[in-house]
Structure 1
Amino acid sequence: MVIMISLARRGATGGCGLMLLMLPAIAAPADWSVTPTVRLRESYTDNMNLAPDGQARGQFVTELAPGVLVSTTGPRLQAALSYTLQKVAYTRQADRTSQQLDAHGHAEVLPDWLFVDARAGITQRNVSAFGPQLVDPAISNSNTSTVRAQAFSPYLRHHFRGLATALLRYDYQHVGSGGLLDVRSRAATLQLTGDNAGRGWNWDLRLRRSEIDDAALAPVTMSDASLTLSHPINNSLAGFGTIGYEKQDYHSLSAQPQGKYGTLGAVWTPSPRTRLSASLGRRYFGKTYGLEASYRLRSMYWTLAYSEDITTTHGEFLSIPPAGLSDFLFELWATRIPDPQLRLKTIQVFLAISQMMGAEGNVNFFSHRYYLQKQGRLSGVYSTPRSALAVHLASTGRTGQTTNAIDSVLLGPDQLSLTDRTRQTSLQAGWNWRMSARGNLTVGASHSRAKSLTTGREDRNSAVTVGLTRQLSARISASADLRHVRHTSNAGGNYRENGVGASFIVAF
């Protein structure tokens, strides 16, 4: 607890303080796990600045990173925090300090009435989908920036038996990145979901109003009201329809961002292992399509999704990524790795090396604009008692809905049309082999393409990584990794980078 308070006082993030506010209201006891850690890493890269061939310079890098892991799972409180203060020393340039944070919590303050959710994060992100891409947080890269994000959401929820479940939620969100991004949003949502106990028609009424304050723009207000009706056709098939009205007052380049909308769809659940949901509709910007599918066996899990919506950079930073693959592996590897903390750590390393964290193969590039985003992804994992194979295919298309002039600070006046229409595709794969009860080998490969449909610029990035981890004792682990990265572009700036590193982690 003292560690969490000190982080909040240091200003690492306001989200830690928000999580602390939940704790006094929790009367039920909960078991807390607080684990201080220290990571020491030594690495070498032959292209520190990701420069073109002939200009690359090698450099050794030393990292000392103290951190803390905090978690609790109780009947009324679930929280987890992972914080690292990273001190990086270089042989040919000035040292620097950075932070990494991933914190989230959920509290039930009043049983069956008042709840609180909170999230906070500090991460390194790519500013643009074009140019050098983030390879290692320790490597110098002019195309990266530190993003700090916080979200705080108290809400009232109560089930009125035989009538409906009522939800009244307030959301506060903030995303900042130095002078590049500074966006705050506030939203209120009222939702009523009918209770028919699975018999006949059911309904869902939703009202939402949000205010977005971007430091680079005039404030934007969004309002949305919708009614959804659903009806079971048989034991495995149900149909649904939505009608609504939305109004947004950002300055659009095409259709006025307001009007009536409607959606028709169906959900097919032939077995507890298989689910398919499909929909089609129309909004003010045209026809829309949606698809969600999942298929699960004892040792295999697949998900397929497609969506179309208006989005923003800060909205994507705060979106919750799909957790299906990590949840599946956590359950599946329960006998393979009985220690839950070690199991979670192994899964995180596996997903990070194979770059399988949601749709991260495609860059959520910095922008103050509103975009029509069409995104599809296919993810799957196949596991045996000693190995696991994961694949991820993603495609993201964005079309600007507002003027590109507001991004002049981010792109420069000669690059404003670069992100008017973009298409990104990525393919990633990872393989993990459990060599012994204490050792794991992970191999990852990825290839991505970012294309500007307005200027014709096309950048490609490929990477191969190999990681070896070994649990030396209950509190000490060691790892070694290799990587090879290539970047090509028809606008120039091609480069290659090779890196090798070794690290020790001590948990106290």
Structure 2
Amino acid sequence: MPRLFNSTVPLVQLAGLFLCVPCHQAHAANWTVNPYIQFRETYSDNLRLARPGNESAGFVTEANPSLSIFRQSGKNTLNLNYRLQNLYNASGNEDATTFNQLQFSSSNALIPNKFFLNANSSISQQNIDNTRIANDNISGSGNRTNVNTFSLSPSWTPQFGNYASGLAVVNYDTVTTDTIANSGRAGISDTQNFGEQIQLNSGTEFKRVGWNLSFNNRDNYRANGNDVSFQNSNATLRTYINKHVNVFAQGGFSDNSFQSFSGSNNNGFFYTAGVQWIPSQRYSLEAGYGNNSHVTLSLSPMQRLTWVTTFRDNQIGLNSGQTWQTALNYRTQRSNWSLTHLNDTTTVQALLLKERVIIVDGNPDPFVNQPVEILAFFPTQTDQVIVTKTWNFAVSFFTGKSTLTGSAFSQDRIYQLNDGHEKVTGLNGSWNWQFAHKTSAYLTPRWQQIDRGLPVKDNRYDLGIGLIHSLTNRLNGSLEFRHLNQTSAFSTNNFEENRATASLFLRF
């Protein structure tokens, strides 16, 4: 298998971006192009995030030209947000440094309803490990690396009359960083990922019987580490006795290849047989028994509430043993609530592919008061396969002038290469209050604890408070104060920072 690492990857990444930009019907009215520039001045009393007694204070000057491009038509969607971050005296080094930050996504229907081409790409900076977590590129001890990701995914959705419908997807992804695994530094290997997904579902010609065939494969080729592959084949046959009861049989083969000391993966054939009961459209219960067994309860007592919970006892495949997952969603006129519990087997490279660098969320000005932050809730960058168990609770409230959000999370991580354990627990909140026509305030408290299975826990507190004022239709100004504190029994992990930031944001 040819590998396109190091200098070749940026060329592939750029070529893929141009390939996925829709070039037909490119009239000016179909495109929204917004250039921006942001000027910021930050004072920090601990630019290097040094431990107590070694702090050094200073100013950091920032000039960030940015570009947002959006296009949506009946067949194509393109969303590109790019920022060129220019810093002087970042981390107190009295030098000028430049960082690229990119979030790109494109979806193209090359043949309507049949053949599609999707692409994603990102450029960001991330912490190399989670012992001394910097928020951004302004302060810190250089404990970060550039991360480039690119993915290209063509898909085909064939229809075989009324007998069957299908899906065929091919994925190609790359993840590259400035760190090199096995070089004496913490880091992950540059990685290429090739994946295939094939599904075939029964059509309407099958009245009393439904069936499904699926094949999923993902190969991770690492430049300096051990390769990893995940593969699963599955077939399901379901017979409907009446509109309330059906019976099913399921079988398949799991074939995963990675180093593991936790015993959470067992390859081989699996089978399940069971029954599903659907007393109404709002309730269902399914139970299956075999070497892979499960029970699934689905509840939707009202239109605004859905809750699905599954308990599994699997002898074959990833996340074997007794596991369970749940997803609850509830919404009111002014609030949204969610509660989830998930089990997953993943890699750091896969997590980086999912990360959103610039969060737009429908904001026409994606760069207004939005510094690009480095992930705080993230594993150390190593060539590991990680088994995770994650709780997440989130709630948001909307009033006429305020938006309040809160979340709580807990994640257990088991590293398969050395059987290391890590637990991360945290609370996040935000309050945005537009108390005047052109002026708003915000408050962002955060807390996070990392327990690495030792009698040592790192506690990290982060509090930001700010004020945003619209000076003109195109010019915004903001002031922010932020306090960051990390405490640990390891003195090298201790630091505290206070910073004040003034910024101007101009949209052309």
Same structural fold, with TM-score higher than 0.5 when normalized by the shorter chain? yes
AA aligned opposite 1:296: R
Cross-structure match for 2:343: 308
AA aligned opposite 2:426: S
Which of 471-480 and 52-61 deviates more? 471-480
Q: Using the alignment, how far apart are the partners of 1:135 and 1:166 within structure 2?
A: 44
Q: Which residues of structure 1 form unaligned runs of 5+?
A: 1-8, 331-339, 405-419
Cross-structure match for 1:258: 267
Q: How far has the Cα of 1:234 moved from its partner?
A: 11
Cross-structure match for 1:75: 74
Q: Using the alignment, how far apart are the partners of 1:466 and 1:12 within structure 2?
A: 38
Q: How far has the Cα of 1:506 moved from its partner?
A: 1.5
Going from structure 1 to structure 2, the CA distance change for 1:214 and 1:46 (only over 3 Å counts) comes to: same
SS of the residue corresponding to residue 318 of structure 1 reads helix
Cross-structure match for 1:115: 116
2:377 to 357, 362, 382: 362
Q: Max radius of gyration: which structure?
A: 2
Q: Using the alignment, how far apart are the partners of 1:476 and 1:208 within structure 2?
A: 50
* Residues 290-369 of structure 1 mapped to structure 2, 5 A cutoff: 290-319=325-354, 341-342=364-365, 349=370, 362-369=377-384
Q: Using the alignment, how far apart are the partners of 2:160 and 2:298 within structure 1?
A: 26
Cross-structure match for 1:128: 129
Going from structure 1 to structure 2, the CA distance change for 1:392 and 1:203 (only over 3 Å counts) comes to: farther
Cross-structure match for 2:386: 371
Going from structure 1 to structure 2, the CA distance change for 1:378 and 1:196 (only over 3 Å counts) comes to: farther
Going from structure 1 to structure 2, the CA distance change for 1:319 and 1:196 (only over 3 Å counts) comes to: farther
* Equivalent residues of 2:443, 2:464 under 8 A apart: yes
Which of 110-119 and 11-20 deviates more? 11-20
* Equivalent residues of 1:361, 1:426 under 8 A apart: no
Q: Using the alignment, how far apart are the partners of 1:363 and 1:241 within structure 2?
A: 39
Cross-structure match for 1:388: 403
Cross-structure match for 2:184: none
Q: How far has the Cα of 1:151 moved from its partner?
A: 1.2
Cross-structure match for 1:336: none
Structure 2 residue 503 is matched with structure 1 residue 506: no
* Equivalent residues of 1:35, 1:68 under 8 A apart: yes
AA aligned opposite 2:196: A
Which of 157-166 and 444-453 deviates more? 157-166
Q: Deviations over 1:355-392 (max 9, x none)?
A: 9x9xx652232120112111110111011010011001
Cross-structure match for 2:413: 398
Q: How far has the Cα of 1:142 moved from its partner?
A: 3.3
Q: How many residues align?
A: 462
Q: Using the alignment, how far apart are the partners of 2:479 and 2:367 within structure 1?
A: 15
Q: Using the alignment, how far apart are the partners of 2:88 and 2:192 within structure 1?
A: 34
* Residues 5-404 of structure 1 mapped to structure 2, 5 A cutoff: 14-24=12-22, 26=24, 31-90=30-89, 93-130=94-131, 132-160=132-160, 162-179=162-179, 180-181=187-188, 182-195=190-203, 202-227=210-235, 243-255=251-263, 257-259=266-268, 260=270, 261-281=292-312, 282=314, 283-284=316-317, 285-319=320-354, 341-342=364-365, 349=370, 362-403=377-418
Q: Using the alignment, how far apart are the partners of 1:48 and 1:64 within structure 2?
A: 18
SS of the residue corresponding to residue 21 of structure 1 reads helix
Q: How far has the Cα of 1:471 moved from its partner?
A: 2.2
Q: How far has the Cα of 1:309 moved from its partner?
A: 1.7
AA aligned opposite 1:280: F
* Equivalent residues of 1:150, 1:174 under 8 A apart: yes
Q: Percent identity?
A: 22
Going from structure 1 to structure 2, the CA distance change for 1:478 and 1:315 (only over 3 Å counts) comes to: same
SS of the residue corresponding to residue 18 of structure 2 reads helix
Cross-structure match for 1:443: 443
Which of 232-241 and 79-88 deviates more? 232-241
AA aligned opposite 1:271: M
SS of the residue corresponding to residue 456 of structure 1 reads coil
Q: Using the alignment, how far apart are the partners of 1:58 and 1:232 within structure 2?
A: 71
Q: Deviations over 1:75-127 (max 9, x none)?
A: 11111111111111117522211111111111111111111111111112122
Q: How far has the Cα of 1:240 moved from its partner?
A: 8.9
Going from structure 1 to structure 2, the CA distance change for 1:220 and 1:361 (only over 3 Å counts) comes to: closer
The structure with the greater share of residues assigned to helix is 1
* Equivalent residues of 1:119, 1:150 under 8 A apart: yes
Q: Using the alignment, how far apart are the partners of 1:138 and 1:166 within structure 2?
A: 49
Q: How far has the Cα of 1:291 moved from its partner?
A: 1.0
Q: Using the alignment, how far apart are the partners of 1:446 and 1:129 within structure 2?
A: 16
Q: Using the alignment, how far apart are the partners of 1:79 and 1:237 within structure 2?
A: 44
Cross-structure match for 2:286: none
Q: How far has the Cα of 1:252 moved from its partner?
A: 2.2
CA RMSD of aligned residues (A): 3.3
Going from structure 1 to structure 2, the CA distance change for 1:386 and 1:166 (only over 3 Å counts) comes to: same
AA aligned opposite 1:341: P
Going from structure 1 to structure 2, the CA distance change for 1:39 and 1:235 (only over 3 Å counts) comes to: farther
Going from structure 1 to structure 2, the CA distance change for 1:116 and 1:320 (only over 3 Å counts) comes to: farther
AA aligned opposite 1:108: A
* Equivalent residues of 1:265, 1:279 under 8 A apart: yes
AA aligned opposite 1:169: V
Q: How far has the Cα of 1:57 moved from its partner?
A: 0.7
SS of the residue corresponding to residue 47 of structure 2 reads coil
Which of 365-374 and 140-149 deviates more? 140-149
* Equivalent residues of 2:42, 2:500 under 8 A apart: yes
* Equivalent residues of 2:21, 2:78 under 8 A apart: no
* Equivalent residues of 1:446, 1:463 under 8 A apart: yes
AA aligned opposite 2:406: V
Going from structure 1 to structure 2, the CA distance change for 1:78 and 1:238 (only over 3 Å counts) comes to: farther
Q: How far has the Cα of 1:257 moved from its partner?
A: 4.0
Q: How far has the Cα of 1:403 moved from its partner?
A: 3.6
Q: How far has the Cα of 1:433 moved from its partner?
A: 0.2
SS of the residue corresponding to residue 21 of structure 2 reads helix
Q: Deviations over 1:122-153 (max 9, x none)?
A: 112122222x2122322133332221111111
Cross-structure match for 1:483: 482
Going from structure 1 to structure 2, the CA distance change for 1:120 and 1:24 (only over 3 Å counts) comes to: closer
Q: Using the alignment, how far apart are the partners of 1:303 and 1:197 within structure 2?
A: 38
Q: Deviations over 1:215-245 (max 9, x none)?
A: 2223333221124567999999999986542
Q: Using the alignment, how far apart are the partners of 1:491 and 1:231 within structure 2?
A: 60
Going from structure 1 to structure 2, the CA distance change for 1:229 and 1:376 (only over 3 Å counts) comes to: farther
